[in-house]
Structure 1
Amino acid sequence: MKAVFDERQRQHDPQFRLQDGKVIVNPDRPERVGELLKGVGKAGLVLTEAADHGMAPLAALHTPRYLDYLRNIHARRSALAAGLAEVVPGRIAPDRNVHYSYETEAQIGYHNADTSCPISAASWDAIYWSAQTALTGADLVLAGERAAYALSRPSGHHAYREVSGGFCFLNNSGIAAEYLRSKGHRPAILDIDVHHGNGTQGIFYDRDDVLTISLHADPAEFYPFYSGGAQECGAGRGVGYNLNLPLARGAGDEAYLAALDRALGQIAAFGASAVVVALGLDAHEDDPFQGLKVTAAGFSRIARRIAGLGLPVLNVQEGGYMQPALGDNLASYLGGLQGA
């Protein structure tokens, strides 16, 4: 089994986040990469570099104006504010069904759901290569690998078609799934991050050619709060092609695995030919966000059940934050996938 990573992803080093009315250092630290690479090593995976697929696979999911914004907004804003370290919204658009303005401050408010996605001069390279890492993982699946791991950072599942949020800029898992679909696969996205994959749901909500499933802490009391309910099942052609499985906060291995079995049944019924796992490790009992109580051994059990589908599995890194067990949790999951 191979793992994909590009060193340029370390360049994104966000400092800004609001919490309880205070500015704190953003939890998406570059140091996460080192811990995850330790997990890759413990699992014995072969590390390979990401290949450049260009902008077209990104633009298959995200609008050109949004991609242009991500690539250029820091330089544009810096020209108006000398010494600017990071671009952070001072306002959030209350309604996006309005006239679109190319004025810098208006764009910043339009393209952000919250204040958790600051953009520095170095951020675009990391964002771009995070997506290219997921695409390279998809190439491995297309080449016949039964499983692959894409160490994508920053994460992606909170990113909508043209809105950043929750540390996410480009929807890496969605980009990989759409790429696989364009190459003849019938993909399902299985999101096992502790947070609901609201961006992924939003992008595919009215489609029936990609199945989207998310297991997560109940958004009634957990981020992203405004999406992820069990009643959200798709729209138009997509009705019945989106499944949310919210879990009570603090739920452990057995409750999680019971919900996972339901998800896997839906994937089988969909007739998926490949699974893209949005691999969050923040459901762990010691993760700083404290949403669920999955154990390290639980990640191995999760992986074995996913492998039991008998389908190619592309694992794209999502959440999982700084704590001593981060690398071990990844090694447990990858080991379970290989052992199965």
Structure 2
Amino acid sequence: MLTIYSDDHRLHHGRCELIDGELKPCFEMPSRADHVLKRVRDRALGEVREPGDFGMQPIARVHAGDYLEFLEGAWARWAAEGNPDGDLLPFTWPARTLRAVRPDSLYGQVGYYSFDGGAPITPGTWQAVYSSAQVALTGQQAIAQGANSAFALCRPPGHHAAADLMGGYCYLNNAAIAAQACLDQGALRVAILDVDYHHGNGTQSIFYNRNDVLVTSIHGDPSFEFPFFLGYADEVGEGAGRGFNYNLPLAAGSDWAAWSAALESACQRIAAYAPDVVLVSLGVDTFKEDPISQFKLDSPDYLRMGQRIAALGKPTLFIMEGGYAVEEIGINAVNVLEGFQGA
């Protein structure tokens, strides 16, 4: 299986995030991609290729122009205001009783374009997220050119990023960008299967009113788990998209028996949709020892996950999302890919 990877991910290394009432070192760190890449090579999974550069156009097909302008220029503005030694993080958001208007102030804009305090902007963030999107687009190109599968080792991840909103370690939605590229190049239907522990709120919001992308997600129930405000089972899409969003929220402590039942339901929905291509938002933070998750999957379960996805019989692009048990993230991610290949 072809793996797409860029060293540019190292340019983004947030110093802290707001979690549990404290500023703590970010769980989303460069070593995550290092562990996955090492496992890919140790297991001789296949060729590792640097991404091509498809420019801004496919990114702008998904993300709002004003948001991209903000994201690209935020660090330079932050440094110009005399703050080059600390990450740029929001501290005020347009909550329910406030007006959701875009202020002129950088402080106001970083809150306007964020939904949490977990997406710090650093000197290299823009280049890292731009390259991460190019990694996904290069994987999509491989599928479009006839590959049965490919692995986009994206970092930073993307599934929490909406069209004009960052958060949850995510800035550009790699899976959504790749899905739109599939459609722009002739696919009629695309399915996204999000297996990350946390609901992909950004992916859902981008496609919520559309029927050309089926979004399915298995995740911790938002009644107790981040992102809290999206991911419930009654969110099924709106307008033309009604029936094309399928959430499978699960209880804390869910093991392979419960999780695999949800996977079977998601795969049956995907099979009925008959997509031209399947994109897997591959989060392995469902692992039993992940530090910020509450599911109980074990490493052999990821082999079975890959086998079931392969049974869909569709060209499949895997796009890396979450997973924070750093020592095991490589094993678990590559187990999915090897399970897929072996099937």
Which structure 2 segments of 5+ residues have no match? none
Cα distance in 1 between the residues matched to 2:146 and 2:39: 24
Residue in structure 1 matched with residue 20 of structure 2 by the alignment: 20
CA contact (8 A) 2:236 2:246 kept: yes
Deviation at 1:39, TM superposition (A): 2.2
> RMSD of aligned C-alpha atoms?
1.3
Residue in structure 1 matched with residue 73 of structure 2 by the alignment: 72
The TM-score normalised by the length of structure 2 is 0.96
Residue in structure 2 matched with residue 93 of structure 1 by the alignment: 94
- Map 1:244-255 to 2 at 5 A: 244-255=247-258
Question: 3-state SS of the aligned residue for 1:51?
Answer: coil
| One-letter identity of the residue aligned with 1:110 | Y
Cα distance in 1 between the residues matched to 2:248 and 2:99: 29
Deviations, residues 205-227 of structure 1 (Å, cap 9, x unaligned): 11111000000011111111111
Cα distance in 1 between the residues matched to 2:65 and 2:327: 40
Cα distance in 2 between the residues matched to 1:244 and 1:314: 20
2:184 is equivalent to residue 182 of structure 1? yes
Deviation at 1:324, TM superposition (A): 2.1
Shift in alpha-carbon separation, 1:210–1:97, aligned structure 2, 3 A: farther
Residue in structure 1 matched with residue 169 of structure 2 by the alignment: 167
2:64 is equivalent to residue 50 of structure 1? no
Deviation at 1:97, TM superposition (A): 6.9
2:287 is equivalent to residue 276 of structure 1? no
CA contact (8 A) 1:156 1:173 kept: yes
Residue in structure 2 matched with residue 145 of structure 1 by the alignment: 147
Aligned residues, how many? Answer: 340
Deviation at 1:57, TM superposition (A): 0.5
Cα distance in 2 between the residues matched to 1:276 and 1:268: 13
| One-letter identity of the residue aligned with 1:15 | R
Cα distance in 2 between the residues matched to 1:179 and 1:47: 22
Moved more, 87-96 or 193-202: 87-96
2:133 is equivalent to residue 131 of structure 1? yes
2:216 is equivalent to residue 213 of structure 1? yes
CA contact (8 A) 1:43 1:332 kept: no
CA contact (8 A) 2:35 2:326 kept: no
| One-letter identity of the residue aligned with 1:40 | V
CA contact (8 A) 1:189 1:278 kept: yes
The TM-score normalised by the length of structure 1 is 0.97
| One-letter identity of the residue aligned with 1:20 | D
Percent sequence identity is 40
Residue in structure 2 matched with residue 110 of structure 1 by the alignment: 112
Cα distance in 2 between the residues matched to 1:260 and 1:184: 28
Cα distance in 2 between the residues matched to 1:200 and 1:176: 11
Question: 3-state SS of the aligned residue for 1:149?
Answer: strand
Cα distance in 1 between the residues matched to 2:144 and 2:218: 26
Deviations, residues 35-63 of structure 1 (Å, cap 9, x unaligned): 01122123422100100000000000001
- Map 1:269-308 to 2 at 5 A: 269-308=272-311
| One-letter identity of the residue aligned with 1:125 | Q
- Map 1:301-320 to 2 at 5 A: 301-320=304-323
CA contact (8 A) 2:289 2:325 kept: no
Moved more, 244-253 or 83-92: 83-92
Cα distance in 2 between the residues matched to 1:134 and 1:113: 24
Deviation at 1:316, TM superposition (A): 0.2
Deviation at 1:99, TM superposition (A): 3.4
Cα distance in 2 between the residues matched to 1:134 and 1:304: 22
Which structure 1 segments of 5+ residues have no match? none
